[in-house]
C-alpha cells in the first residue's frame, strides 16, 4: 500500500492524514523519559546472508585457482577446463548450501548442525562435478591429487570460516543486532494470542518491546501476556522517534476498518514495517497473500521504503559519487568560500539544525549567504525576493544553489544523501504556518534520509514556499520519490539537477 493510497483512504474515512504529527513537534513528550536507551544499530539478516554467500563462493573459487598455481604451475596449464571445474564446484556448493538452509541467521549461530549440512553439500558438489567429468570423458585431463586436495582443504576452510562466523553471529545476537524490535498494537485476547504465537518462534528474531492500545484498561489491561501497555497509538509515534523500532503488528481484526484507518493515519509517517496479524482472523486468503513472522501469518500494510541491500546500495552510491563530486567541485567551493570571506565579516560556513531521517535533528552546512548579525538559524522568517539580510555574494550563491555545496560533507558523514527530500529548518513556514501544520502527512518525508537535491527540486519546486499550495506540491513530489526510489532514479535526478538550476524564479 502506497502513501498516496493511505491518504486517499483516510480522506474517504474522514480521518486527518497527519493525525499525531503535532505530537512530534511538542517539547514535552509522554514517553521521552520511559523510552528505551539508544539501541545498537541493527544488522540486516538479508545483507549478512548475501555477504556470506558471496564470501564462500569467492573462497571456493580462489582456493581452486590457488591450489592449481601451487601444485600444477608449469606442469598443467590452467585453461578453460580447470576454470569450468572450479566454477562448477563453487556454483553447486553455494546452491546446495542454500537449499540446505545454511544461509539463515539461525544456521550461522549453530555450528555443529550446520557443519553436517555443509559437509554433505560440499561432498555432493564434488560428486556431481566428478561424475560430469567422467561422463564427458575428460576426467583424465584433471589432476587427481589437485581434486583430492581441493576437496579436503576446501571443506576444512569452509568449516573453519563457519566456526568463526558462528561466534561472531552469537555475539551480535546477544547485543540484539539481529532482533526486530516489535510493538504490538491492540491488547486483549487477540494481543495475548499473537504474543504467545510469536514467542514460540525461537528463531523468528522478533523482540516485543510492549503493547500500545487506544482502549482503556477495562477493555485492554495494563499488562498483556507479560508485556506492559506503554500508551496509545499517538504515544507509539513518539516512542518510535526516541528509540529503535523495526516492526509494528496490529492485532485488530480486519473488520474494524475504521479503527485501523484511524491508527494508520498516525503511524504511516514512520520509517517502519507495519503488518496486520492474520493469526486469529476468520478470513482465510491464499498462502501467497501472507508474509510470515516465523510461522505466524501477517498481511503487509507498509514496508520501510529503503531496507536491506537498498540501504547498502544507496550508501555506497552516496559515498562514492559524493566523494567524486567533492573532488570535482573543490575549485568552485574554494572560490565561493573566498568570495564569502572577502566580502563580509563572519564565518564562511553557516550551520543550521534541520530535521533528518525519522525526525532526527542534524546539522547541515551551507556557505553563509546572510550578514552575520542577521543570520536566522531556525528559519523563523522566510527569505524573500530582495531580502536585505542577504549579502550580494549570498544572493548569487542562493540563486545558483552553490550555497548548498558544503552539504557534500554531510553526505560523507552520513547525515544526508545526494538525493532525497530537502531537509527543512525547524521553524520553516508557509503562509506563516509551520510546514507540518500545512500538509497532511508532512513528516512522511522523513521516512528516508534527506538529500542535497530531489525530485521536487528538479521539477521546479525549489526555493520559496510562501503558499500552502507550493508546499503541498513539494511534499507530493517527495512522497513520489520515496515510493519509487531506485539507483537509476537517483542518477536521473542528479544528472537533471544542473539544468534545473537555470530555473531561478523562486530562488532568492
Asked if the structure places residue 36 within a domain, the reply is no
Number of Cβ within a 10 Å radius of residue 303: 14
**Of the candidates 450, 482, 435, 430, the residue with the CA atom closest to the CA atom of residue 364:** 450
Q: What is the model's pLDDT at position 74?
A: 75
**Pair 112, 170 in one domain:** yes
Q: What is the model's pLDDT at position 293?
A: 85
**Pair 260, 383 in one domain:** no
Asked if the structure places residue 21 within a domain, the reply is no
* CB distance 393 to 340 below 8 Å: yes
Asked if the structure places residue 28 within a domain, the reply is no
Residue 410, SS3 per DSSP: helix
**Of the candidates 334, 314, 315, 337, the residue with the CA atom closest to the CA atom of residue 326:** 334
pLDDT band at 176; cut points 50, 70, 90: confident
pLDDT in tens, 52-80: 999 999 999 999 999 999 988 878 888 88
Instruction: Name the domain boundary from 139, 155, 175.
Output: 175
Distance between CA atoms of residues 299 and 159, nearest Å:
38
Asked if the structure places residue 486 within a domain, the reply is yes
**Pair 55, 111 in one domain:** yes
pLDDT in tens, 186-238: 888 888 888 988 888 777 788 999 999 887 766 667 888 888 888 888 899 99
Average pLDDT, the chain: 84
**Pair 475, 385 in one domain:** yes
**Pair 241, 287 in one domain:** yes
Given phi > 0 = left and psi -120 to 50 = alpha, else beta, which region is 304? beta
Domain containing 156 equals 45-175
**Pair 136, 160 in one domain:** yes
**Pair 392, 405 in one domain:** yes
Q: Please state, for a pLDDT cut of 70, what percent of the chain lies above it.
A: 85
Distance between CA atoms of residues 479 and 461, nearest Å:
14
> 154-190: b or e for each residue (b if 16 or more CB lie within 10 Å)?
bbeebbeebeebbeebeebbeebbbbbbbbbbbbbeb
pLDDT in tens, 84-139: 999 999 999 999 999 999 999 989 999 999 999 999 999 999 999 999 988 888 88
Asked if the structure places residue 6 within a domain, the reply is no
Which domain CATH number covers 295?
3.40.50.720
Instruction: Name the domain boundary from 154, 175, 196.
Output: 175
DSSP, residue by residue, 31-74 = TTTTSPPPPPPP--HHHHHHHHHHHHHHHHHHHHHHHHHHHHTT
Asked if the structure places residue 262 within a domain, the reply is yes
Cβ partners under 8 Å of residue 349, min gap 6: 365, 366, 367, 368, 406
pLDDT of 249 over the 80 cut: yes
Q: What is the model's pLDDT at position 463?
A: 66
**Pair 155, 183 in one domain:** no
pLDDT in tens, 257-271: 788 888 888 888 899
In sequence order, the β-bridge partners of residue 273 are 247
Sign of CA dihedral 402, 406, 412, 416: negative
What is the tally of structural domains in the chain?
Answer: 3
pLDDT in tens, 283-330: 565 666 678 887 888 888 889 999 999 999 999 999 999 999 999 999
**Pair 188, 134 in one domain:** no
pLDDT of 466 over the 70 cut: no
Longest dimension (CA), the chain: 87
- Rg of the Cα atoms in the chain: 28
pLDDT band at 13; cut points 50, 70, 90: very low
Instruction: Name the domain boundary from 288, 304, 320.
Output: 304
**Pair 355, 489 in one domain:** yes
**Pair 54, 90 in one domain:** yes
**Pair 57, 159 in one domain:** yes
**Of the candidates 268, 258, 253, the residue with the CA atom closest to the CA atom of residue 191:** 253
Q: Which of 22-26, 315-319, 401-405 has the lowest mean pLDDT?
A: 22-26
Q: What is the model's pLDDT at position 464?
A: 64
What does pTM read for this prediction?
Answer: 0.81
* CB distance 35 to 243 below 8 Å: yes
Distance between CA atoms of residues 424 and 195, nearest Å:
40
Asked if the structure places residue 22 within a domain, the reply is no
**What sections of 144-215 are H helices per DSSP?**
144-174, 188-199
pLDDT band at 27; cut points 50, 70, 90: very low
Q: What is the model's pLDDT at position 32?
A: 43
Distance between CA atoms of residues 479 and 445, nearest Å:
6
Interhelix angle 144-174/111-135, rounded to 10 degrees, is 150
Number of Cβ within a 10 Å radius of residue 100: 17
Q: What is the model's pLDDT at position 35?
A: 52
Asked if the structure places residue 196 within a domain, the reply is yes
Q: Which residue has the higher pLDDT, 441 or 409?
A: 409
Amino acid at each position: 500500500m502506497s502513501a498516496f493510497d493511505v491518504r486517499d483512504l483516510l480522506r474517504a474515512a474522514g480521518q486527518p492524514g497527519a493525525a499525531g504529527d503535532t505530537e512530534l513537534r511538542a517539547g514535552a513528550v509522554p514517553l521521552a523519559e520511559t523510552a528505551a536507551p539508544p539501541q545498537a544499530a541493527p544488522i540486516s539478516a538479508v545483507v549478512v546472508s548475501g555477504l556470506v554467500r558471496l564470501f564462500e563462493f569467492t573462497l571456493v573459487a580462489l582456493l581452486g585457482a590457488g591450489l592449481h598455481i601451487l601444485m600444477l604451475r608449469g606442469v598443467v596449464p590452467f585453461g578453460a577446463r580447470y576454470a569450468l571445474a572450479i566454477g562448477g564446484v563453487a556454483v553447486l556448493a553455494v546452491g546446495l548450501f542454500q537449499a540446505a538452509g545454511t544461509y539463515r541467521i539461525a544456521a550461522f549461530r549453530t555450528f555443529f548442525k550446520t557443519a553436517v549440512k555443509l559437509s554433505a553439500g560440499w561432498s555432493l558438489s564434488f560428486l556431481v562435478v566428478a561424475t560430469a567429468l567422467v561422463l564427458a570423458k575428460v576426467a583424465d585431463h584433471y589432476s587427481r591429487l589437485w581434486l583430492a586436495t581441493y576437496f579436503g582443504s576446501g571443506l576444512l576452510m569452509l568449516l573453519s570460516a563457519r566456526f568463526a562466523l558462528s561466534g561472531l553471529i552469537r555475539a551480535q545476537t546477544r547485543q540484539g543486532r539481529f532482533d526486530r524490535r516489535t510493538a504490538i498494537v491492540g491488547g486483549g485476547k487477540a494481543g495475548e494470542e499473537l504474543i504467545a504465537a510469536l514467542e514460540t518462534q525461537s528463531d523468528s528474531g522478533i523482540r516485543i518491546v510492549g503493547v500500545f492500545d487506544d482502549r482503556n484498561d477495562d477493555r485492554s489491561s495494563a499488562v498483556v501476556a507479560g508485556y506492559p501497555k506503554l500508551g496509545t497509538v499517538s504515544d507509539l509515534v513518539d516512542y518510535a522517534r526516541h528509540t529503535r523500532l523495526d516492526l509494528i503488528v496490529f492485532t485488530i481484526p480486519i473488520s474494524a476498518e475504521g479503527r485501523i484507518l484511524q491508527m494508520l493515519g498516525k503511524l504511516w509517517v514512520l520509517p517502519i514495517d507495519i503488518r496486520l496479524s492474520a493469526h486469529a482472523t476468520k478470513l482465510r486468503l491464499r498462502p501467497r497473500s501472507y508474509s510470515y513472522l516465523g510461522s505466524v501469518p501477517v498481511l503487509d500494510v507498509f514496508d520501510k521504503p529503503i531496507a536491506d541491500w537498498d540501504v547498502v546500495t544507496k550508501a555506497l552510491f552516496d559515498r562514492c559519487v559524493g566523494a567524486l563530486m567533492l573532488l570535482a567541485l573543490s575549485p568552485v567551493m574554494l572560490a565561493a568560500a573566498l568570495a564569502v570571506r572577502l566580502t563580509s565579516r563572519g564565518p564562511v560556513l553557516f550551520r543550521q539544525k534541520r530535521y533528518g531521517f525519522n525526525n532526527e535533528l542534524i546539522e547541515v552546512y551551507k556557505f553563509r549567504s546572510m550578514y552575520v548579525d542577521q543570520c536566522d538559524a531556525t528559519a523563523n522568517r522566510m527569505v524573500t525576493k530582495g531580502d536585505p539580510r542577504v549579502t550580494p555574494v549570498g544572493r548569487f550563491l542562493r540563486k545558483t544553489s552553490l550555497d548548498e555545496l558544503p552539504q557534500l560533507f554531510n553526505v560523507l558523514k552520513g547525515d544526508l544523501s545526494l538525493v532525497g527530500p530537502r531537509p527543512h529548518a525547524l521553524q520553516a513556514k508557509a503562509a506563516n504556518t509551520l510546514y507540518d501544520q500545512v500538509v497532511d502527512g508532512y513528516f512522511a518525508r522523513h521516512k528516508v534520509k534527506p538529500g542535497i537535491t530531489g525530485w521536487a527540486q528538479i521539477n521546479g519546486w525549489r526555493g520559496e514556499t510562501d503558499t500552502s499550495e507550493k508546499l503541498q506540491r513539494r511534499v507530493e513530489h517527495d512522497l513520489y520519490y520515496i515510493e519509487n526510489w531506485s539507483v537509476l532514479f537517483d542518477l536521473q535526478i542528479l544528472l537533471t539537477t544542473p539544468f534545473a538550476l537555470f530555473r531561478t524564479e523562486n530562488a532568492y
